Amino acid sequence: MRIRHLATLAFVLLFQTGCSDPTPSSPRHAIAPALNLAQLDGSAITLPTRDADTPLLLLFWADWCPPCLAELNAINQHYPHDTHEKLRIITINIAQPEPIVRQLIERLQLKLPVYLDSHGDIAQAYGIKTLPASILINQEGKIARRISGQLTPEALQDLTRTPS
């Protein structure tokens, strides 16, 4: 149990320095890693979804990251009303216990789908080094864009207009 707490603390310290302004990375167009995610309600999803009708935006976050919470709250206010037909959004909590995640969902009244990356494996597979971070996956299952830092609703609208 102590090792798990130390591992979580190390992971938190690694990501804590990453809360920053948004910095888009150049498109990579690499095939997104195929991974399975569990949602709090027990449902699961396999990423990426190939031949999807809309691009998929993955939002990586943790509750100790103030820009992550600001991003979730702002996007939650606009989702699904402004984006659901042009962009599918899921959020991925990194390495936090389920009760903490549930409390935050309730406090923020999140409508966004929340998936758990309990050990940070998914963040590692997607090359996430700072939080908040976002990965845009196009309809062909390729990484179209990486964004480090807080994604604003305006930037989210830009993603829905930018071809992937």
Distance CA 102, CA 140 (A): 32
pLDDT at 164: 52
From first to last of its 164 residues, what are the pLDDT tens digits of the chain? 444 443 443 444 344 444 444 444 434 568 888 888 888 888 888 877 666 788 899 999 999 999 999 999 999 887 765 555 678 899 999 999 999 999 999 999 998 889 999 999 999 999 999 999 999 998 888 999 999 999 987 888 788 776 55
pLDDT at 50: 63
pLDDT at 65: 96
Helix (H, G, I), strand (E, B) or coil at 115: strand
Domain boundaries, the chain: 2-161
- Looking at 2.60.120.10, 1.10.10.60, 3.40.30.10, 3.30.43.10, the CATH number of the domain 2-161 comes to 3.40.30.10
Contact (CB, 8 A) for 85 and 160: no
Distance CA 161, CA 35 (A): 27
Q: Round to the nearest angstrom and report the end-to-end CA distance of the chain.
A: 43
Helix (H, G, I), strand (E, B) or coil at 30: coil
Would you state the torsion angle of the CA atoms of residues 26, 29, 35, 40, taken in this order, to the nearest 10 degrees?
50
pLDDT at 31: 86
Q: At what angle do helices 98-108 and 66-78 cross, to 10 degrees?
A: 50
